[in-house]
Structure 1
Amino acid sequence: MLFLSRSLFFKRFTYIFSLTLLIYGCKSNTSSEQTSEQAVKLVASPAFNPDSAYAFVQKQVDFGARVPNSKPHQLCGDYLVATLKKYGLQVTEQPFTPTTFDGTKLNARNIIGSFNPAASKRILLAAHWDSRPFSDQDSVVKDKPVLAANDGASGVGVLLEVARVLSSQTTKPDIGVDIIFFDAEDWGSSDEPTKMEYSGFCLGSQYWSANKHTPNYTAYFGILLDMVGAKGATFLKEGHSVQVAEEVVRQVWTTASRIGYNNYFIDERGTSITDDHWPVNKVAGIPMIDIIHTKQNSLALTFFPQWHTSHDTMENIDPNTLKAVGQTLMQVLYQEAAGQAL
């Protein structure tokens, strides 16, 4: 009995000692990683102007719902092309004519603006610029087009401000940036059965991924923006992004935390979402992540409250959210240009 008790004591002692070492080791590794991240200095990056970004969002909404085949869609597309050119980006328009899940043939175009096109190291930034043709999540008006202030225009507004800021710098960052505005993202089926890939969503990114605007185009990595302007937005680490580009996710979320936006960029993995970044990963072979407004509760994943409704309007757009996303992008770009990725 004494021998058994002594053996049990040594087993427990060994277990506790080993556990202590394990915990210490984990803490040491975590501490080491945090120290390493903190050791990388934040390089100076230009200020992102949230009021300017807000104005870019407002300008798009002023055209009306940018549904493909409509006059507002055509006029807004022309505006995006002219604005990118005004800021000195090399612009490529990529027309295509997809057929939607309900048989509608669209006159669509992807719009690509390239900053510093001669640079070999390139970062891809993207958002969709079209509006959903019906408010299927609305409790009252389901057949009305969505004005899409957040679900579309907010990401485009942030990227137009990124283009403006980059072009305004006396000393340009030594990096190439390609901004793609994907079209025909939001004419998909939410509930009706369809044989189309992605249920008919992401038509523009599917087309671009199979028909890049430049032969053999590639990028170091990509970042997609979707629904990035709402009040109180939270951005979980989207599942597909973590799966295929975990290091890029870590870099972006670490950057956001370092510059004070961890209340927006939540250090928590969310669910996997079908969005424009997925064809870019699967078909184009470019590791692209998705910064998208999501909130995980005990019942289900939710987007912002006005998603796919007639209430996705400017009163729900917050310059503070645009600032958090835009300044994080600027910092990521300048860290990469300096070879100091966090």
Structure 2
Amino acid sequence: MRPKSHFSSAISFVIILLLVFYAFYSQTPSSEVKENVPATEWSTARALEHIQALSVEPHYLGSKAHDKARDYIIKQLKSYGLNVTTQSAYDISWNGNMSKPENILARIKGRTDSKNALLLLSHYDSDPHSSKGASDAASGVATILEATRAFLAKNEQPENDIIICITDGEELGLNGASTFVNKHEWAQDVAFVLNFEARGSGGPSYMLVETNGGNRKIIEAFSKSGVEYPVANSLAYSIYKMIPNDTDLTIFREDGDINGLNFAFIGDHFDYHTQLDSYERLDRNTLAHQGSYLMPQLDYFSSIDLTDRLKTEKDDDVVYVPLPLIKMVQFPFSWLSGLIIVAFVLMITLIVYGIKRRRIQLTYLLGGFVPFLGALIISYLITNYTWIGIKESEFYIHQLHGFPYNGYWLIAAAAFIALTISFFLYHKYYHRDRIPSLSVAPIFILWLICLLVAFPVGDGGILGSIFLPGAGFLIIPVFCSLIMLYINIQQKRPSYILLVLLSVPAIFILSPFIKAFPVALGMSILFVASVLTALLFGLLVPITGHYRKKGLLAFMSLIITIGCGVYAFAKAEFSPSQPQSTSLVYIHNQDENKAQWATYDPTLTDWVKEKLGNNPQNAKELNKNSIDSKYGTGFSYVAPAEYKKLASLDIEILSDRLVGEDRKVKLKVSSTETLHRIEAFTTDEVLFKKAVVNGLQVPKTGKSETPFGYRWGNRLLSYYIKDNEPLVMELTFSAQDNPELIFYGASFDLMQRSEFEITARPIEQMSMPFVLNDAVLKKRSIKLVNQQTIVEEQTADEK
């Protein structure tokens, strides 16, 4: 029986709000940092001690702090009674990023065959050159250290071996993982991997599957492991398989055919790879979530039979999504076609039944598409074009992450504008006898989404390449909404309690996506937050349709929208807690005895203008040689600079000879001053038949299937240097070619060198991430013509 008072309506509305709130904040365990936790249990406080020790300063490969981080981890593992070894070798990634990582390895011996080992994985290098790496990935290292300590404190030998692999060079090109998988004898023993990562400094940690086959056995095992706070869904799995991956675990899958699970958090993405990735800004709640993942899985996977390595055939997949109490709902992909067809049949049956009972009228059923589609379309248009209008302002163009400091408030504004529009439109269409009719449109649209993206047709779906069977869990709220429709057909005054219970799957499945999509994929899809909010509202019409104060609720939502928008714009300024990214590079052209100041900044701050002046030149000419950066960011402006007397970037020809129709040249690039990185370029048309760099044969890549076949512009490689070891290249090419090689040697010490007289960066600014920044960049070229080596003239001082 339906309650007859406005009070009961208000109570149901409050319960819905609480459910939405709970859907967000029940994803992670409590952030309370408890002291005196028993030695056999995970302790966030103890893990934080590791993070604090590892994130004192940037510790990128080649830095002194990097060695300190390595030594700290080794010391901790040894204190647990483990035998610790290291592995070091040169490695080059498919896209030309080369380094000499030093992996840290330890092993806990199990009772059974050592060929079925569980591997715990994270990396200890931070991103060059200003990131402190507290989240990415000191948090992962600390998670493994604390879990290993607690596990060993139980004094119980596992069934399977447990390998601890803390890789190096992950930020540069997954070099450490490649070195382990392809060169270490233990790699053959690995049956399954648990990898801990970060792409921000907060929020829930998402589980992502890495497999060349199907996911069924992996998801079944993950469900049985007893994880308390699983944040995992098969839509993320389907999307993840479609896009280029970029974690150490990818190397295990691609090069070793080894299955595994990633656990990574992406909240507060604006901290990623910046100096803000610090101990203080790491969300304690998030760290506790990582621990809540690893502890039960460490016990479970170290004790089960891993002989089959949890491998299944390629299409043996399951749909999965977490729900309250149930933890993980899962069913096979093969059920999708049947479930979608059954849902359609039930929907048509209920419509016919409702018409017969005169509870559904075709006029109002079709009219129900007007407020629902209107809410979807208007919400999309307002949110999308508002973002397009504001994103070119200075506050936003200086944030390369794609997620700005005020991003969460913009998401909230996008969600509430959708609520405002939805309440307003449904207020116009309100009539107590139309609720069953108005409920059909949202159900049909959600069913149509399931049909288009998840219904299998041949090797794909109805939309061809846009086939996301992992989104099949959306059929669950379709069925729940059909039951709600039936109840409203049967009863003019249905029970709010029953309807609210049936709304739980829609709320818990859709609500987290409202926030997650813009955070994960960038604010360019901010409109998704509005669209999903309007969709969720539509699915709740069987409840909210009974509310008679929708006009008042629309007004309240509008006030909240304005409040969120005003606060978002009030936060749209740079400050010490949300600093502006700025950049400065000194380019020392030793070919021409000239120097330049350069910046990546789209607009110049007063601090940058101190060196580049008020009228710098466009950097188009300089960008012909594209320095490697995460998002392809090139220099924006340059200005002449005083040519300083610096140690030269030396190019020495070690050998140059003809072999048949080929020419083989061996050369060395070095400097007496410390270098952290060398970039090598040549002209696009030159193809090399063979290349060996620092004793490492360069694999054949790209469409040409030649060494350095995959090139970003005319870049051959980026070499990240350790212990100032030189770059030695042995190149084989056609004797008819006359290549020019261009080298840039970078040191990350511009801000520390007194001869450049650079004032301290203002407190409301920070070093720009993702680019070669705060660096001295020495340029030197060499032409290989007619078997003779012609080096560009040395500076007058050198002569």
- Which residue of 2 is the match for residue 299 of structure 1? none
Cα offset for 1:217? Answer: 2.6
**Structure 2 gaps, min length 5:** 1-39, 307-327, 329-799
- Which residue of 2 is the match for residue 185 of structure 1? 170
In structure 1, which of residues 216, 222, 225 is the aligned counterpart of residue 193 of structure 2? 222
Give 2:260's aligned amino acid: M
- 1:282-301 correspondence to structure 2 within 5 Å: 282-294=254-266
- Which residue of 1 is the match for residue 470 of structure 2? none
| 1:95 maps onto 2:76 in alignment | no
| 1:152 maps onto 2:152 in alignment | no
Shift in CA distance, 316/58, structure 1 to aligned 2, threshold 3 Å: same
| 1:332 maps onto 2:297 in alignment | yes
Contact 2:227 2:297 (8 Å CA) reproduced: no
Contact 2:159 2:304 (8 Å CA) reproduced: no
Give 1:210's aligned amino acid: N
Cα offset for 1:245? Answer: 6.1
Cα offset for 1:279? Answer: 1.2
Contact 1:245 1:287 (8 Å CA) reproduced: no
Give 1:254's aligned amino acid: S
| 1:83 maps onto 2:54 in alignment | no
Shift in CA distance, 96/248, structure 1 to aligned 2, threshold 3 Å: farther
Distance (Å, rounded) in 2 between the aligned partners of 1:100 and 1:71 = 24
SS at match of 2:296: helix
SS at match of 1:313: coil
- Which residue of 1 is the match for residue 148 of structure 2? 163
- Which residue of 2 is the match for residue 269 of structure 1? 235
Deviations 1:270-329 (A, max 9, x none): 23222111111121232122222247xxxxxxx833112221111222333222222322
SS at match of 1:233: strand
Distance (Å, rounded) in 2 between the aligned partners of 1:223 and 1:235 = 13
Cα offset for 1:259? Answer: 4.2
Give 1:317's aligned amino acid: L
Cα offset for 1:155? Answer: 0.4
Distance (Å, rounded) in 2 between the aligned partners of 1:114 and 1:224 = 16
SS at match of 1:52: helix
Contact 2:207 2:262 (8 Å CA) reproduced: no
| 1:320 maps onto 2:289 in alignment | no
Distance (Å, rounded) in 2 between the aligned partners of 1:267 and 1:176 = 29
Distance (Å, rounded) in 1 between the aligned partners of 2:145 and 2:195 = 14
In structure 1, which of residues 254, 260, 263 is the aligned counterpart of residue 228 of structure 2? 260
| 1:116 maps onto 2:84 in alignment | no
TM-score (norm 1): 0.67
Which structure has the larger Rg? 2
CA RMSD of aligned residues (A): 3.1
Distance (Å, rounded) in 1 between the aligned partners of 2:58 and 2:215 = 35
Give 2:126's aligned amino acid: S
Contact 1:154 1:228 (8 Å CA) reproduced: no
Distance (Å, rounded) in 2 between the aligned partners of 1:71 and 1:244 = 42
Give 2:81's aligned amino acid: G
Contact 1:236 1:294 (8 Å CA) reproduced: no
Cα offset for 1:169? Answer: 1.4
Give 1:61's aligned amino acid: S
| 1:57 maps onto 2:25 in alignment | no
Shift in CA distance, 277/124, structure 1 to aligned 2, threshold 3 Å: same
- Which residue of 1 is the match for residue 275 of structure 2? 310
Contact 2:205 2:263 (8 Å CA) reproduced: no
Distance (Å, rounded) in 2 between the aligned partners of 1:175 and 1:88 = 18
Cα offset for 1:132? Answer: 0.7
Distance (Å, rounded) in 2 between the aligned partners of 1:268 and 1:124 = 23
SS at match of 2:299: helix
Contact 1:98 1:105 (8 Å CA) reproduced: yes
Contact 1:229 1:321 (8 Å CA) reproduced: no
Paired-residue identity, %: 22
Give 2:71's aligned amino acid: D
Contact 1:155 1:229 (8 Å CA) reproduced: no
Give 1:155's aligned amino acid: G
Deviations 1:181-233 (A, max 9, x none): 1100102xxxxxxxxxxxxx20111111110243x632221111111883322
Distance (Å, rounded) in 2 between the aligned partners of 1:125 and 1:167 = 14
Shift in CA distance, 247/82, structure 1 to aligned 2, threshold 3 Å: farther
Contact 1:225 1:291 (8 Å CA) reproduced: yes
- 1:193-272 correspondence to structure 2 within 5 Å: 201-214=173-186, 217-227=188-198, 230-237=201-208, 241=210, 244=213, 246-247=215-216, 249-251=218-220, 254=223, 258-262=226-230, 265-270=231-236, 271-272=239-240
Distance (Å, rounded) in 1 between the aligned partners of 2:224 and 2:48 = 23
Cα offset for 1:338? Answer: 4.4
Give 1:226's aligned amino acid: E
Give 1:92's aligned amino acid: T
SS at match of 1:293: strand
Give 1:168's aligned amino acid: A
Contact 1:123 1:219 (8 Å CA) reproduced: yes
SS at match of 2:150: helix
- Which residue of 1 is the match for residue 250 of structure 2? 278
Cα offset for 1:247? Answer: 3.9
Cα offset for 1:60? Answer: 0.5
Shift in CA distance, 252/317, structure 1 to aligned 2, threshold 3 Å: farther
Cα offset for 1:53? Answer: 1.1
Cα offset for 1:98? Answer: 3.9
Deviations 1:235-286 (A, max 9, x none): 1535xx2654624651465257x44313xx2334323222111111121232
**Structure 1 gaps, min length 5:** 1-45, 135-144, 188-200, 296-302
